[in-house]
Structure 1
Amino acid sequence: MKRIMGLDVGEKRMGVAISDPMGWTAQGVDMVRRDQPDWLKRLQELIEQYEVDKLVVGLPRNMDGSIGEKGQICQELSRQLEERFSIPVELWDERLSTVAVERTLIDADMSRRKRRKVIDQMAASWILQGYLDAQRRNRDV
């Protein structure tokens, strides 16, 4: 089976998570620096390495559900990724994912420097796990 890749898109960095082949769990695997000229090449390498057949991009929504500037950027990026890699891209509501992950890391007493190194991957995992859980619930209905 192919895998699903989850992306937490930031201005400078993008957290990357991958599902297991059965689509049950998500694990953070990398952080891609979007401020580097070859970031799309690195993303392509990860897609090929993990045999990804779908991307799930976190869509930051405002608390009222509306889509602001950051959400519009993610929508446009999703269209570009779908065109470039010729695989389906789905947007997934990521409200509070980074906040939840940061709170978890603080509760685990992780230093700010260590948190900075893993937060993007963990946020991508959070987004992808939410997507995977919803897909499983929909299949079970």
Structure 2
Amino acid sequence: MGRVLGLDVGDVRIGVALSDLLMITAQGVETYKRVDEKADIEYFCDMMDKYGVDTLVVGLPKNMNGTLGEQAEKVQEFAEKLKEASGRRLVYWDERLTTKSAHKTLLEADMSRKKRKAVVDKIAAIYILQGYMDSL
């Protein structure tokens, strides 16, 4: 079984997390600043090849009542294109509370607003991936 890549997809940035080889912990890789769709997809395909990723877990931003809004549709559109380009298995993970949890963690760590903004997407990606791995 290969590694799993977790993504928290936003319009400007994508938080990136990667499973360890034993599938026990999710590790934050980076907060990727989006360029354009073609470049973004190429970047993540290369990353999946480099790290031996066979499953892609993408956080799906559902509304609190469980419905999908405009942002969720944008995320799905990108994720489906990435799945097609990479040939990897795609899993959606309900991310309703991950960004909120990430902000809370960073506030508790007494991190400045500027630093929080730079890493919150990566932390959210860790929560998405860890939640998925814990469910297996």
Give me the whole-angstrom Cα distance separating, in 2, the residues matched to 1:45 and 1:84.
Answer: 11
- Structure 1 residue runs of 5 or longer lacking an equivalent are 136-141
Q: Residue 32 of structure 1 contacts residue 42 of structure 1 at CA under 8 Å; is this kept in 2?
A: no
Query: 2:118 corresponds to which residue?
Result: 117
Give me the whole-angstrom Cα distance separating, in 2, the residues matched to 1:78 and 1:45.
Answer: 15
Q: Secondary structure at the match of 1:38?
A: helix
In structure 2, give the amino acid aligned to 1:22. L
Query: 1:139 corresponds to which residue?
Result: none
Q: Normalising by structure 2, report the TM-score.
A: 0.93
Q: CA deviation at 1:113?
A: 1.4
Query: 1:62 corresponds to which residue?
Result: 63
Q: CA deviation at 1:4?
A: 0.2
2:102 equivalent to 1:101: yes
- Structure 2 residue runs of 5 or longer lacking an equivalent are none
In structure 2, give the amino acid aligned to 1:23. M
Give me the whole-angstrom Cα distance separating, in 2, the residues matched to 1:116 and 1:35.
Answer: 18
2:37 equivalent to 1:29: no
Give me the whole-angstrom Cα distance separating, in 1, the residues matched to 2:95 and 2:76.
Answer: 13
Task: Figure out how many residues of one structure are paired with residues of the other and give that number.
Answer: 135
Q: Normalising by structure 1, report the TM-score.
A: 0.90
Kindly report which structure 2 residues correspond to 1:1-141, keeping only aligned pairs within 5 A, or say none.
1-36=1-36, 38-135=39-136
Give me the whole-angstrom Cα distance separating, in 2, the residues matched to 1:78 and 1:5.
Answer: 12
Deviation by residue 1:88-120 (Cα, 9 ceiling, x = unmatched) = 111100002111101110111001111122111
Q: Deviating runs (4+, > 3 A) in structure 1?
A: none
